[in-house]
């Protein structure tokens, strides 16, 4: 099965992930795909502390994520890929991973955005110009971008929100 959900959430593993999203998609493995997190010992420690017990959790760079996904190692798993920033997702799509839809949960709204303050376009999403460019490239690549904080929320089309930017 491999990748069952790709989500952008700058809070990474938190209550909504552990109590709602994992069960909703039946994930058997979490992959944190972020160059920043993979190279920061403090963030790696926080992820390891917050990871659900008995849930295999890996922290990989974007390049490592592409390599492992293409290797077939995850073919018998249901992998939940969790990215910190939109810029973490784009390399996966450019590398040809089979990603048709991305869930956007929290971007720049709850934490300091790496690109500085962003423009609030939804209650949990504040985007920079770089984010907007990345989202538009993903849309042009045929990837559907939906906004939901938790699975039971009504789906909001991110493309519609970007029209206002």
Catalytic residues: 14
Give the Cβ contact number of residue 108 at 10 Å. Answer: 24
Q: Residue 5: which of 110, 99, 145 has the closest Cα?
A: 99
Distance between CA 53 and CA 31 in Å, rounded? 14
User: DSSP letter string over 106-159?
Assistant: EBBSSS--TTS--EEEETTEEE-HHHHHHHHHHHHTT-EEEE-SSTTSPPEEHH
Are 97 and 69 within 8 A, CB to CB? yes
User: DSSP letter string over 78-109?
Assistant: EEEEEESSHHHHHHHHHTT----EEEEEEBBS
62's enclosing H/E stretch is helix 62-71
């Amino acid at each position: 099965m491999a990748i069952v959900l790709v989500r952008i959430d700058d809070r990474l593993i938190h209550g909504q992930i552990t109590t709602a999203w994992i069960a909703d998609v039946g994930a058997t493995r979490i992959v944190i795909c972020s160059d920043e997190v993979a190279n920061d010992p403090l963030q790696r420690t926080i992820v390891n502390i917050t990871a659900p017990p008995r849930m295999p959790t890996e922290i990989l760079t974007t390049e490592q994520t592409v390599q492992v996904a293409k290797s077939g190692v995850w073919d018998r798993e249901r992998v939940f890929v969790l990215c910190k920033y939109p810029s973490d997702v784009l390399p996966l799509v450019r590398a040809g991973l089979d990603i048709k839809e991305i869930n956007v949960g929290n971007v720049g709204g709850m934490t300091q955005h790496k690109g500085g303050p962003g423009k609030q376009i939804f209650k949990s999403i504040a985007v920079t110009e770089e984010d907007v460019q990345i989202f538009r490239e993903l849309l042009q690549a045929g990837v559907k971008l939906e906004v939901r904080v938790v699975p039971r929320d009504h789906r909001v089309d991110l493309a519609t929100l970007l029209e206002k930017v």
